[in-house]
């Protein structure tokens, strides 16, 4: 295991030093877990529609609901991990919970209640583990390398997300649509992820005598002007970030590429994100994380602008997906790196969870609003409105942060 090769995580290497092994170990955990999760995501429609002959619509509804619930559970996971100062244990619980659900799926069979419950538990595990995991990364990494560390982690995570559906395809085409093999293989990857976390991730117990973290301390975090501004800015920009699915669907329609390419568009964004995450993370360390985070949203503007180019064909799609992937590379890990730079260590998980939850909730809201607008208006008017609001949000955020 190459993860164990990097020693002395405690010492701070100066310029372009190697990242601590913990970052790679946590990257490996996320890679394995994402293989497991994305295998199931790719299989679920087939499983529900053909094997169980269940109505897919209601699960779409439930899934949207769970995504919202996950955002709130992130706060709980973050707070508990700070309160107990055992982020590894809390993360382990989250990863373990999701791993176990993979074996429960075939057991509940065609019960709508059962499937709903298993999906909810899986999502709960994801919500709980995110903040302590990011806290572990940030606490193991020297402050001047946080961007690089989160970049490497997100890149590894995306490798897993790309491999999962590929594995599902191989199983479906070679063995068939029987549920057993997909769920068992998915469980094995998740379980290996848990073992890697348990074995290869070291938790740095802080030497400082921690004052017990209270809810009050968590709330007090919002009194810090820098933290408050970052939270508001991230939430504001989340408000103009529509879901990926909308971007892909509108892009396919407007650019007028064959509809058969629709399932492949997410791969474009993911591939660019994968390649860009680590170098852009390093860039963020050098030039300023907030600047890169802001620049990412300017790239999102490029993506939205491409949604206004009729019959743009594959060129427009290429530009849009490149900008979309770079948007993620500039924002996803970079926001956590930015916040880790000033949130106190004993409130790290709570702080990261707060910023991420605000962003996730406003993103969900924006997708609902966007959907309602699409139901009543022509697509180009909706996209023009979106572009205008994004520009307004960028100006507002620039002023907000400059006023510091």
Partner 1 sequence: MSGHRVLVGVIAIVLLVLGGGGYVAYIAVRQPAASEAAPAPKIGDVVYIDLDGGQDRVTTLRPDGQRIASGLRCQRFHRAGGTSVCLRLAGPGPTYEAAVLNADNSVVKTVPLPGIPSRARVSASGNIVAWTSFVTGDSYTVPGGFSTRAGFLDLRTGAVTDSIEHFDATVNNRPLKAADVNYWGITVAADDNTFYATLASGGLNWLVKGDLTAKTARSVRQNAECPSLSPDGTRVAYKKRPTPLDKWSLVVLDLRTNKEITLPETSGIDDQAVWLDESTLAFGAVKGEPRTAVYFVPADGSAPAKAEIHNAASPVSVK
Q: Binding of partner 1 at residue 89 (CB under 8 A)?
A: no
Residue 398 within binding range of partner 1, rule CB under 8 A: no
**Nearest approach, Cβ of 298 to partner 1 (angstroms)?**
24
Q: Where are the alpha helices (DSSP H) in 239-347?
A: 244-255, 265-287, 289-306, 313-340
174 lies in the site for partner 1, by CB under 8 A: yes
Q: Looking at beta carbons only, is 169 or 342 nearer to partner 1?
A: 169
State the first-to-last Cα distance of the chain, in angstroms, to the nearest integer: 45
Look up tokens 């030497």; give the residue.
207
CA 184 to CA 189: how far, in whole Å? 9
User: CA–CA separation, 224 vs 339, rounded Å?
Assistant: 12
Which of 69, 245, 392, 395 touches partner 1 (CB under 8 A)?
245
CA dihedral 220, 223, 229, 231 (to 10 degrees): 20
Kindly state the smallest distance separating residue 110's Cβ from partner 1, in Å: 6
Dist CA 229 CA 364 (whole Å):
21
Residue from 137, 185, 339, 353 binding partner 1 (CB under 8 A): 185
- Closest distance of CB 251 from partner 1, Å: 11
By CB under 8 A, name the one of 69, 215, 222, 368 that touches partner 1.
368
**CB-based burial label for 46 (10 Å; 0-12, 13-18, 19+):** middle
Which two structure tokens, joined as six digits, stand for 234?
């991230």
Q: How far is the CB of 12 from partner 1 (least distance, A)?
A: 20
Cβ closest to partner 1, residue 350 vs residue 359:
359
Please count the residues of this chain forming the interface with partner 1, following the rule CB under 8 A.
76
Q: Is 331 exposed, middle or buried, given 0-12, 13-18 or 19+ CB atoms closer than 10 A?
A: buried
Phi then psi for residue 204, to 5 deg, are: -90, 105
Q: For 149-205, give the DSSP string.
A: HHHHHHHHHHHHHHHHHHHHHHHHHHT-S-HHHHHHHHHHHHHHHHHHHHHHPPP--
Closest CB 149 distance from partner 1, rounded Å:
19
Looking at the Cβ atoms of 169 and 287, the one nearer to partner 1 is: 169
Per CB under 8 A, which of residues 192..211 are in contact with partner 1?
192, 195-196, 198-200, 202
Handedness of CA 349, 125, 186, 62 (dihedral sign): negative
CB-wise, 195 or 222, nearer to partner 1?
195
* Phi and psi at residue 111, to the nearest 5°: -80, 120
Minimum distance, C-beta of residue 221 to partner 1, in the bound complex (Å): 28
Report the nearest approach of partner 1 to the CB of residue 232 (Å): 23
Q: How far is the CB of 116 from partner 1 (least distance, A)?
A: 13
Torsion region of 208: left, alpha or beta (phi above 0 gives left; psi -120 to 50 gives alpha): beta
**Could you say which residues in the range 96-155 bind partner 1, by CB under 8 A?**
109-110
Q: How far apart are CA 258 and CA 403, in angstroms?
A: 47
Q: In the range 272-311, which residues lie near partner 1 by CB under 8 A?
A: none
Which region among 63-71, 78-86, 152-160, 326-334 touches partner 1 (by CB under 8 A)?
Answer: 63-71
Site residues for partner 1, 41-60, by CB under 8 A, read 42, 45-46, 49-57, 60
What is the closest distance, in whole angstroms, from the C-beta atom of residue 70 to partner 1 in the complex?
11
Q: Which is nearer to partner 1, 191 or 236 (CB)?
A: 191
By beta-carbon proximity to partner 1, the closer residue of 159 and 401 is 159
Output the smallest distance, CB 57 to partner 1, in A: 7
Rounded CA gap, 348 and 332, in Å? Answer: 17
Q: Closer to partner 1 by CB, 80 or 383: give it.
A: 383
Site for partner 1 in 66-85 (CB under 8 A): 67
- For the segment 249-268, give every residue that binds partner 1 (CB under 8 A): 249, 252, 258-264, 267
Among 6, 63, 100, 229, binds partner 1 (CB under 8 A): 63
Q: How far apart are CA 271 and CA 159, in angstroms?
A: 9
Any contact of residue 391 with partner 1 (CB under 8 A)? Answer: no
How far apart are alpha carbons 122 and 216 in whole angstroms?
A: 30
| Structure tokens belonging to residue 218 | 């968590």
Smaller CB separation from partner 1, 33 or 252: 252
Decide: is 8 part of the binding site for partner 1 (CB under 8 A): no
């Amino acid at each position: 295991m190459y993860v164990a090769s990097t020693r002395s995580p405690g010492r701070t290497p100066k310029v372009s030093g190697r990242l601590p092994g913990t970052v790679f170990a946590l990257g490996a955990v996320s890679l394995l877990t994402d293989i497991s999760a994305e295998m199931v995501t790719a299989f679920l429609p087939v499983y529900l529609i053909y094997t169980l002959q269940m109505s897919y619509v209601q699960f779409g509804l439930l899934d949207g609901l769970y995504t919202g619930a996950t955002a709130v559970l992130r706060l709980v996971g973050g707070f508990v991990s700070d309160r107990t100062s055992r982020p590894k244990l809390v993360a382990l619980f989250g990863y373990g919970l999701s791993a176990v659900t993979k074996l429960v799926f075939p057991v509940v069979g065609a019960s709508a209640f059962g499937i709903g419950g298993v999906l909810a538990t899986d999502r709960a595990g994801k919500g709980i583990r995110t903040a302590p995991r990011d806290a572990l990364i940030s606490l193991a990494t020297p402050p001047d390398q946080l961007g690089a560390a989160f970049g490497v982690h997100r890149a590894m995570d995306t490798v897993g997300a790309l491999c999962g559906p590929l594995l599902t395809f191989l199983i479906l085409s070679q063995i068939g649509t029987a549920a057993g093999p997909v769920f068992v293989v998915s469980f094995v990857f998740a379980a290996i992820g848990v073992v890697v976390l348990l074995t290869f991730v070291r938790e740095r117990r802080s030497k400082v005598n921690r004052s017990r973290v209270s809810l009050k301390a968590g709330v007090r975090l919002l009194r810090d002007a820098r933290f408050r501004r970052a939270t508001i800015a991230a939430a504001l920009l989340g408000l103009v970030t529509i879901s990926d699915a909308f971007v892909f669907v509108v892009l396919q329609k407007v650019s007028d590429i064959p509809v058969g390419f629709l399932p492949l568009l997410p791969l474009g964004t993911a591939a660019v994100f994968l390649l860009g995450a680590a170098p852009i993370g390093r860039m963020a360390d050098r030039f300023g994380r907030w600047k890169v985070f802001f620049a990412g949203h300017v790239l999102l503007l490029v993506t939205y602008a491409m949604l206004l180019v009729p019959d743009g064909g594959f060129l427009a799609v290429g530009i849009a997906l490149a900008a979309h992937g770079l948007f993620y590379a500039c924002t996803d890990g970079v926001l956590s790196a930015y916040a880790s730079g000033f949130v106190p260590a004993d409130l790290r998980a709570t702080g990261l969870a707060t910023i991420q939850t605000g962003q996730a909730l406003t993103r969900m809201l924006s997708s609902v609003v966007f959907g309602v607008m699409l139901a009543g208006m022509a697509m180009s008017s909706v996209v023009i409105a979106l572009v205008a609001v994004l520009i307004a949000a960028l100006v507002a955020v620039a002023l907000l942060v400059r006023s510091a």
